[in-house]
Chains A and B, each alone.
Chain A
Amino acid sequence: MSYFSLALTLIFVLIPLLLSKTFQLGLERDTIIATVRSIIQLLLIGYVLQFVFDSESYLFIFLMVAIMIGAATQNARKKGAAIKGITWKIAITLIFIEILTQGILIGFGITPPTAQYIISISGMVIGNSMVLSILFLNRFTAEMENHQDQTELILSLGGTPKQAIHSQLIAAIKASMIPTIESQKTVGLVQLPGMMSGQIIAGADPIQAVQFQLLILFLLLTNAAVTSIMLGFLSYPTLFNDRMQLVRKSE
């Protein structure tokens, strides 16, 4: 694509700007900021990736993945502010899921241990885990608030914190996993995944693009299950103290 063609794509930014202005949505400023940020961030990351790929150094790959995990943690933690130590819990979950997926992919020789593969797949895995963490924390916090009387009831009858929180935890885990499972049911029918489309546009063999996309889809299923369950089981104990009481905000 030439720079002139790229410039023409700004038409897709002008349309929402005009609509926002016409219908007084008040989103013009945010749209412009988002556009400028995405141009700068993507151009920057393009140059950084070029440098890392050329250097073929594992130190730079490690740094790139660490930055991704740090940024994803920072973004997701806001949704779980009520949970003590949520930053570390999210970070541990993301690190675990990264090690697990790369361990399987590289360990079984499914993908080569090069920057090109590690960084691209890490981006998808960590990004997806971040969204799942946000979905989980949103739902879990709401479930806790809405069913506090049920939690209290089970504790009052001699139940353990795990028993008291079980149904809320399961509801939140399921709610965060469902979008991943549902979107996979219609993949290829309703939407063509971005990565696969990108590969096809770049001239790759469609069958090869599909094979690679399938790998990513299966990987994201594991990602969804492990992220939600791990974050859930790391989060709930901090809501209770050693006397099996719901922790009060002042504690």
Chain B
Amino acid sequence: MSSVPATTVVDQVRRAVASVDDPEYPGVSIADLGLVETIEVEDGSDGPVAVVGLIPTFSGCPALDMIATDVQHAVTALTDVRDCDVRWLSGPVWSTARMSPAATASLADQYTVVLRRKDGGLRCPVCGSDDVAVQSDAGPTRCRAIAWCASCRNPVEVMR
């Protein structure tokens, strides 16, 4: 048994999980994208076991295994944690409302990926124009649609 208080270990695990980036967006944490739902630390026979509950953006996302492996590696690297159990939870349902302002800003700045505003409109992350129209609901990944800015003529991707 570890002598470190469980709450402290949970904080360590939380930080370790938050250090994992989405494979599609290096530099953007899965925690900021809203994929992390539960973090618990249980007493295992050989020491504390972290149980991390994640939710996928879309059921068919092919990056799920990679994300789970990255979380496993990050958490088991902690000296106060013996093992890590990563679970994909069936609920709640992910939506763009789960993304933090930091993730939203990083996606716009680094990846020209934007979120739909509450009024339904889109703003081009390159030139700031609102003259952006969706071209295809299906983009390069399950969670992105393809739009086009009529002002600066750049392609813009939209989290959906």
Partners in one complex: no
Mark B residues whose CB is within 8 Å of A. Answer: none
